[in-house]
Amino acid sequence: KRKPEISWLCRNSACKAQLSPGVPFCKRCSCCICHQFDDNKDPSLWIVCTPESHGGGSDCRLSCHIECALDHEMAGVVSDGKSILLDGGYHCESCGKVSSLIGCWKKQLLIAKNARRVDTLCHRLSLSYRLLDGTYLYREIHEIVDKANTTLESEV
């Protein structure tokens, strides 16, 4: 006799979405790469799948941690050694579409600019730097962040 499949609730107390059997993670509040959620989800530390060109179908609108995307080479500048495969973009783990990171990059700089704490300034400037490190498309604006990052590292 086959066991009936039972739906389950998201473990995130801020979400509690009802999930279908066999769904490995909550797509509403969890990272599509590591499948973890944050208790106090800071949207500025997440990337959402929102591609500019809709090559048929709809974008999945799933989100992931910026750190996960960078660590898994799904965001920023990714090269195969011969050519740049991704330049200032986010390649969605779920649907495979590419979204621009320039809005996310600007958001990190704006938060760094308004930071009241040195650790926040350092973290956001570091994220801005890492998002476009090695870029060809955005090399001129990346040079400015590189100089700021270098200055900050020498002073802190």
Per-residue pLDDT of the chain (156 residues; tens, 9 = 90+): 666 677 888 988 888 899 988 888 999 999 999 999 987 778 999 999 988 765 556 678 899 999 999 999 999 999 888 888 899 999 998 888 999 999 999 999 999 999 999 999 999 999 999 999 999 999 999 999 999 989 988 887
- Determine the Cα–Cα distance for residues 44 and 49; give it in Å rounded to an integer: 14
pTM given for the model? 0.86
- Which residues are within 8 A (CB) of 134 and not within 5 positions of it... i.e. 6 or more apart? 76, 77, 79, 84
Of 60, 66, 59, the C-alpha closest to 90 is 66
